[in-house]
Structure 1
Amino acid sequence: MIQPPDASKPEASRSWGSRFFSPILAGATLRDRMIACFGALLGIALTGAISGYLFGHGPHLPLIVAPIGASAVLLFAVPASPLAQPWSIIGGNTISALIGLIVAHFISDPILAIGVGVSLAIAAMSFTRCLHPPGGAAALTAVLGGPAVAGWGFLFPFVPVALNSCLLVALGLLFHKLARRSYPHVAVKPVENLHQTNDLPSSVRVGFREEDVDAALEAFDETFDIDRADLSRLLQQVELQAAVRSHAGISCADIMSRDVIAIDEDADPDDARRLLLKHNIRALPVKDRHGRLIGTVGLREISQSTGTIAGSISPPATAAVSDAALSLLPVLTDGRTHAVIIVDADDQILGLISQTDLLSAVARLLPNEPA
């Protein structure tokens, strides 16, 4: 008989713990958070140390302004956020601090000044495309004043606010590069039609379109902390993963061609052209002297080659025999790749999957309905 879970058992504790420590942000992992903690440690400490070394600190100048701590959370914990990009941090903090000083100069009532300061800071950051939440704190700091603000006057937005922001961003760029994380985040460009016609690329003709994303965002009537291009890319990946999961039983080994026509890297272009035309194929795998795959060539590559084909080799698209066949859809529909080479751990060629092979497999998955 199945017994209900006992809350005193380790399994229940682990379940509770996993729920308690589950990430708030989609995609976040414990490793990401640990990297963020270490990055913030280095970033904030070094920003304060360098600022203190350059200008000293004391009543006339703080070691570091408080909003920089909030900037560090975004910079190291969510580096892909549009709110955490270099211009957002530097421009958002600096412009907001300047707005706060201007408001404090013209409005003597502190209650009214803090409200107007933050609201105008949001407006200014929005119009200058540098919206940054800590900018609101920078505006408040400037409005409420203090020895540092009074001592530096209208230089305060630049020293220490802009100085701290620039140092933090520079350290963030270095840290993310060393950690092999992408920063600043660059949203992937929309897929282009490589054939230079007015048609949509084949990979986006079926499924949702950009206007569907706009309609969905309008229906939610909310603002999300993600670039619109990243949102489209995420939804496309969700579609792909759902298709792969639904047909996970079909692997590359099931549909690949096993009698692969290949050529050596020191072969003559005429030999490569002859093989391509004889076997009616568009991509020819190229092997080194040890039989390992090093690339592919097609008619376009060899049309301008002289000597051997070694100088005309294109990087290969590869997969393993155990990979899901439908996971090759993005590669084989990108408008450039005609075949994926199936290799083992030593890059020895085991098979090949062409666009035709994958199309035939997808066709078999379609429901058979009577005419």
Structure 2
Amino acid sequence: MKNGDGQGKRIRSCLGALFGIAFTGWAAHAVLGMDMETPLLVAPMGASAVLLFAVPESPLAQPWSIMGGNICAAIVGVVCAKLIGTPIVAAATAVALAISVMLAFRCVHPPSGAVALTAVLGGPAIHELGYRFVLIPIALQSAALLSAALAFHLMMGHRYPRSFSGDASHAAAGRWASLWQRLSSVVPRRGRTEDASMPGASAHRHSSGIEALLHGDEDRFALARDCGELTCADIMSVVPHSPRVSNPSQYDCTVRTDTPISELAPHFKNHACDRVGVLDGGGRLVGAISQLDLIWGLYRQMRTPQGIAA
């Protein structure tokens, strides 16, 4: 990653956090007025700001994570504070139960653990709020901070919240099906003798491209591509055609749509980038791939075509 690009990202993250926390405090003040019994800002919002503005692509920083996680943790924390008389036991129980509830509702948000602790250890002012603590300040401040993040990333031309396009997945499934039909003719020509019905045969074929790349076997690598190795076009998230979000210069490195996904790992490692831009034949930005996209693509590549189609 270029030093200038890395510094620019740090500055944007800091400005985003500055804007987010300031807006959250202002929104709380606008709603509560001079009510000093309710805190205008609670400490977990600072941790949430780190995720929302420094690593907005993380699954832990998505809207449902921050809203669902904080609200669930607040409810659990208030219940534990009311029912358990020993603060340390109440705090430990609140955090443990909050994690369980967040996992159940798929809204894991690390700062929510601090929300549960705040409900238990926040002092008399927090305890007097009772269940109002869930709505004000937690739900109010979480919504304000999330709104600030949505506005900030929109102004910066960043894609937030993270969205997944189903078009590439459907296209990939169709491509797998057609290449699977060709496999029976391709493999014998190369002297492959394993039976497609044998357990692990399909996974071996799909992983052969990565193995070939690591060992420098170009002939075997070409075979793997013929047998259905996924390309960047199959796993990328489509970028909307907008001047603010379809500019290739916002990415530290770019690849082509026909680049095999086994070639992506060095880009993330060597450039220390979070996302890789995907260009079409005309050099236009058509998609983006994150580290999570690559992991999911490699997982799909190791599955059988029947499993993918299902």
> 1:136 & 1:110 partners in 2: Cα distance?
15
- 1:318 maps to which of 260, 277, 281: 281
Residues 193 and 238 from structure 1, CA distance in 2 versus in 1: closer, same or farther, beyond 3 angstroms?
closer
Identity in percent:
42
Paired position in structure 1 for 2:262: 239
- 2:56 maps to which of 49, 58, 79: 79
Paired position in structure 1 for 2:96: 119
Paired position in structure 1 for 2:153: 176
Residues 239 and 143 from structure 1, CA distance in 2 versus in 1: closer, same or farther, beyond 3 angstroms?
same
Q: Which amino acid aligns with 1:185?
A: R
Q: What does the per-residue CA deviation read over 1:273-328, in whole Å, with 9 as the maximum and x for residues that have no partner?
A: xxxxxxxxxxxxxxxxxxxxxxxxxxxxxxxxxxxxxxxxxxxx5347xxxxxxxx
Paired position in structure 1 for 2:228: 205
Residues 118 and 198 from structure 1, CA distance in 2 versus in 1: closer, same or farther, beyond 3 angstroms?
farther
Residues 80 and 241 from structure 1, CA distance in 2 versus in 1: closer, same or farther, beyond 3 angstroms?
closer
> 1:191 & 1:243 partners in 2: Cα distance?
26
More relative contact order, 1 or 2 (CA 8 Å, 6+ apart): 2
> 1:100 & 1:242 partners in 2: Cα distance?
41
Offset at 1:91? 0.9
- 1:150 maps to which of 116, 127, 149: 127
Paired position in structure 1 for 2:32: 55
Q: Which amino acid aligns with 1:205?
A: G
Offset at 1:153? 1.1
Paired position in structure 2 for 1:29: 6
Offset at 1:242? 7.8
- 1:135 maps to which of 112, 121, 132: 112
1:64 partnered with 2:27:
no
SS at match of 1:192: helix
- 2:15 maps to which of 38, 62, 69: 38
Paired position in structure 1 for 2:197: none
- 1:95 maps to which of 72, 77, 85: 72
Q: Which amino acid aligns with 2:173?
A: N
Offset at 1:74? 0.2
Offset at 1:239? 2.3
Q: What does the per-residue CA deviation read over 1:173-218, in whole Å, with 9 as the maximum and x for residues that have no partner?
A: 1110110111001245475334795766x7882379xxxxxxxxxx
> 2:142 & 2:227 partners in 1: Cα distance?
40
Residues 241 and 166 from structure 1, CA distance in 2 versus in 1: closer, same or farther, beyond 3 angstroms?
closer
1:107 partnered with 2:70:
no
After TM superposition, which residue ranges in structure 1, 4 or more long, deviate above 6 angstroms? none
- Is this contact kept in 2: 1:59–1:148, CA < 8 A? no
> 2:14 & 2:226 partners in 1: Cα distance?
39
- Is this contact kept in 1: 2:78–2:131, CA < 8 A? yes
Offset at 1:172? 0.5
After TM superposition, the score normalised by the length of structure 2 is: 0.56
User: When the two structures are aligned, how many residues end up with a matched partner?
Assistant: 194
- Is this contact kept in 1: 2:119–2:127, CA < 8 A? no
SS at match of 1:46: helix
Report which of the two has the higher share of helix.
2
Q: Which amino acid aligns with 1:164?
A: Q
Q: What does the per-residue CA deviation read over 1:107-156, in whole Å, with 9 as the maximum and x for residues that have no partner?
A: 10111111111111111111111100100000000011324323321111
**Pairwise CA RMSD:** 3.0
> 2:68 & 2:18 partners in 1: Cα distance?
23
Gaps in structure 1 of 5+ consecutive residues? 1-27, 209-235, 245-316, 321-371
Offset at 1:30? 2.2
